[in-house]
C-alpha cells in the first residue's frame, strides 16, 4: 500500500473525516482549494477543475507539454477534477498517456462522456475511452448534451452497478435543454449534472440549481467564460473597485466567484491551454465569495457590456 500522501490526498482525507474545519488556520490557509462534498457521499471534490476540450485539441499543434503544465498547475492548488470528452483515437491516446503519468495517475478525478447515438456505439465509445485513458473504474461517466438519453441511461446504470464507473450523470451546455434536463433530474436523480452557468448566463439559478440541492445531485459547471466570449464582453472595462470586497483579482475570477458563491455548485470546470490562466482560475477558489446582494450588483454591472 502506498502510505505517502500528497497535499491533496491529505486534505481530502481530513476533509472527509470532518476535521479540516477544526484545524489551526495555518494548516488550511494559503493556496489550497476548498473542497465540497458530493451530496450523500463522504467523498469531496476541490471546487475548481479543468475542462479539457481545448487543451486536448491543442496537443495536435503543440504536443502534450501545455496540457501537462496546466494539469500540474491545477494539482499544485489541490485541484483534481478533469472533464474530458471522446476525441479522435490518436489524440485521446496521447492525452491518455499524459493522464497515466505517475505524477497524475492517482491525483485526478476524471469525468468523461458518451457523445454518440446507439447502444452498441455508446458502449464501444466508453470502452475505448477506458482503454486509452487506462482508467478502471472511471470516476464519472456522463451522457453529453442528453444525446440518445433513453438508450444510454440503462447502460450507465449497469456500468455503475458492475463497479466499472463510480458516478453517473448527464451534461447540457445550453438553456434549450433545461426543460428535458429538469424532467430527467426529477425522474432519475443522477449522481452528477453538468450545466452552463456564469455571471452573464445565469438562468440555471431559477430552477435547476435549487432542484439539484433538493435532490442531492452534484453540479459541475461548464461555460464559466461562455467558451471565451465573456472576455470579449468585459474587454476594455475596468474591474470595479468593489470586487476587492470578495478578493477578486481578475475578470476570470469575477465570473468564477459568482458561480462558486452558489451553494449547489460542487465544482466549476475552466478550460484553458495556459498554466497562468489555470492559476488565475484556481485562485478564484481562494478567499471570500460574494453574497446574494453582491451577486445582484455583479450581474447588473456586466449586463450592459
Ligand X SMILES: NC(=O)c1ccc[n+]([C@@H]2O[C@H](COP(=O)([O-])OP(=O)(O)OC[C@H]3O[C@@H](n4cnc5c(N)ncnc54)[C@H](OP(=O)(O)O)[C@@H]3O)[C@@H](O)[C@H]2O)c1
Distance CA 165, CA 158 (A): 9
Phi, psi of 262 (to 5 degrees): -80, 125
Candidate segments 5-13, 101-109, 211-219, 276-284, binder of ligand X by CB under 6 A:
276-284
* Torsion from C-alpha of 291, 292, 297, 302, nearest 10 degrees: 90
Query: Given the rule CB under 6 A, which of 18-26, 133-141, 225-233, 297-305 is the region that contacts ligand X?
Result: 225-233
Q: How far is the CB of 134 from ligand X (least distance, A)?
A: 20
The interface mask with ligand X, positions 150-179, x = CB under 6 A, is: ---------------------x-x------
Could you give the dihedral angle defined by the CA atoms of residues 64, 68, 69 and 72, in that order, rounded to the nearest 10 degrees?
180
DSSP 8-state class, residue 219: E
Going by C-alpha positions, the residue among 175, 172, 124, 165 that lies closest to residue 149 is 172
Cis status of the peptide bond prior to 137, with omega within 30 of 0:
yes
| Phi, psi torsion values for 230, nearest 5 degrees | -55, -40
**Whole-number Cα distances in Å, 160 to 147, 285, 294:** 19, 31, 41
Q: Which of 269, 275, 294, 298 binds ligand X (CB under 6 A)?
A: 269
Q: For the chain, how many residues are written?
A: 305
Q: Which of 277, 297, 299, 301 binds ligand X (CB under 6 A)?
A: 277
What x-and-dash track marks residues 54-93 binding ligand X by CB under 6 A? x----------------------------x----------
Q: Which stretch binds ligand X (CB under 6 A): 14-22, 97-105, 234-242, 267-275?
A: 267-275
Determine contact, residues 70/104, Cβ cutoff 8 Å: no
Which residue stretch of 13-21, 38-46, 47-55, 88-96 sits at the interface with ligand X (rule: CB under 6 A)? 47-55
For ligand X, the binding residue among 212, 270, 285, 298 (CB under 6 A) is 270
Tell the smallest beta-carbon distance from residue 233 to ligand X (Å).
Answer: 12
CA separation, residue 71 to residues 44, 68, 141, 166, 272 (Å): 19, 5, 20, 22, 10
CA distance 85 to 83: 7
Site for ligand X contains 223 (CB under 6 A)? yes
> At closest approach, how far in Å is the CB of 2 from ligand X?
29
Is 10 or 240 the residue whose CB approaches ligand X more closely?
Answer: 240
Grid cell for residue 152: 444510454
Residue 139 interacting with ligand X (CB under 6 A)? no
Q: Which stretch binds ligand X (CB under 6 A): 10-18, 88-96, 232-240, 272-280?
A: 272-280
Task: Give the nearest distance from C-beta 22 to ligand X in angstroms.
Answer: 33
Residue 225 interacts with ligand X (CB under 6 A)?
Answer: yes
Q: How many residues bind ligand X (CB under 6 A)?
A: 28
Question: How many Å apart are CA 70 and CA 254, to the nearest integer?
Answer: 21
Residue nearest ligand X, Cβ-based = 51
Is 191 near ligand X (CB under 6 A)?
A: no
Which residues make up the interface to ligand X (CB under 6 A)?
A: 51-54, 83, 144-145, 171, 173, 194, 222-228, 231, 252, 269-274, 277, 280-281
Amino acid at each position: 500500500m502506498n502510505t505517502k500522501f500528497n497535499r491533496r490526498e491529505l486534505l481530502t482525507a481530513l476533509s472527509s473525516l470532518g476535521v479540516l474545519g477544526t484545524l489551526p488556520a495555518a494548516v488550511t490557509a494559503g493556496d489550497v482549494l476548498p473542497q465540497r462534498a458530493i451530496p450523500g457521499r463522504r467523498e469531496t471534490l476541490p471546487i475548481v477543475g479543468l475542462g479539457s476540450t481545448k487543451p486536448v485539441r491543442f496537443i495536435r499543434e503543440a504536443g502534450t507539454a501545455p496540457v501537462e503544465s496546466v494539469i500540474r498547475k491545477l494539482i499544485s492548488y489541490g485541484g483534481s477534477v478533469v472533464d474530458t470528452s471522446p476525441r479522435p483515437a490518436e489524440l485521446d491516446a496521447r492525452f491518455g498517456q499524459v493522464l497515466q503519468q505517475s505524477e497524475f495517475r492517482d491525483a485526478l478525478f476524471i469525468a468523461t462522456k458518451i457523445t454518440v447515438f446507439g447502444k452498441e456505439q455508446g458502449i464501444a465509445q466508453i470502452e475505448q475511452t477506458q482503454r486509452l485513458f487506462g482508467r478502471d473504474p472511471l470516476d464519472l461517466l456522463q451522457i453529453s448534451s442528453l444525446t440518445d438519453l433513453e438508450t444510454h441511461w440503462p447502460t450507465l446504470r449497469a456500468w455503475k452497478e458492475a463497479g466499472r464507473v463510480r458516478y453517473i450523470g448527464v451534461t447540457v451546455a445550453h438553456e434549450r435543454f433545461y426543460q428535458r434536463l429538469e424532467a430527467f433530474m426529477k425522474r432519475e436523480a443522477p449522481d452528477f449534472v453538468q450545466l452552463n452557468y456564469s455571471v452573464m448566463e445565469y438562468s440555471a439559478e431559477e430552477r435547476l440549481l435549487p432542484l439539484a440541492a433538493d435532490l442531492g445531485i452534484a453540479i459541475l459547471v461548464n461555460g464559466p467564460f461562455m467558451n471565451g466570449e465573456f472576455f470579449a464582453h468585459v474587454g476594455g472595462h475596468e474591474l470595479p473597485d468593489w470586487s476587492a470586497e470578495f478578493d477578486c483579482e481578475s475578470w476570470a475570477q469575477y465570473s468564477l466567484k459568482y458561480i462558486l458563491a452558489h451553494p449547489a455548485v460542487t465544482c466549476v470546470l475552466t478550460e484553458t491551454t495556459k498554466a497562468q490562466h489555470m492559476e488565475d482560475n484556481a485562485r478564484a477558489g481562494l478567499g471570500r465569495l460574494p453574497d446574494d446582494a453582491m451577486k445582484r450588483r455583479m450581474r447588473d454591472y456586466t449586463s450592459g457590456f
